[in-house]
Structure 1
């Protein structure tokens, strides 16, 4: 989650390395994605910032991922998103 300064913080109350599984319907097919809580939190923050649903962002990533696995593609997309942000 982003704090008041815009920095992403990690909630360590649950195991940050244990993946959490969530299901989505993409292009009419049900699929599951397993991501660590830090990636889910970052993805939610991005969705809120851009007024989009998680499902719509995941669907966009799915359309552009090529042969990469969906969970890995989401992780790379989130990482790239934050790397491209301007810093102060």
Structure 2
């Protein structure tokens, strides 16, 4: 499955994040439910992740945990 790259600003710095479209769907829905920008949600995830974890992995795990919490 190809990755889809988005550019965003985290804490005033431009970066890009590549995820599968399905993960972007979950992230977009999470941000909409919380009435916040996707970049703000990604910044929260970035702030909470362990320094040795990649941002893309942290976002995927966050998206998965959100789905699991809503289906159990």
Q: Which runs of 5+ in 1 are unaligned?
A: 1-16
Report 1 or 2 for greater relative contact order, CA contacts < 8 Å, sequence distance ≥ 6.
2
Aligned alpha-carbon RMSD (Å): 1.1
1:74: Cα distance to partner? 0.3
Map 1:66-77 onto structure 2 (within 5 A): 66=50, 67-77=52-62
Select the residue among 36, 45, 63 that pairs with 1:78.
Answer: 63
Given the two structures, how large is their TM-score scaled by the length of structure 1? Answer: 0.75
Structure 2 residue ranges without an equivalent (≥5): none
Structure 2 equivalent of residue 9 of structure 1: none
Q: Rg bigger for which structure?
A: 1
Which has the larger helix fraction?
Answer: 2
Q: Which runs of 4+ in 1 moved over 4 A?
A: none
SS at match of 1:84: helix
Q: State the number of aligned residues.
A: 71
After TM superposition, the score normalised by the length of structure 2 is 0.90
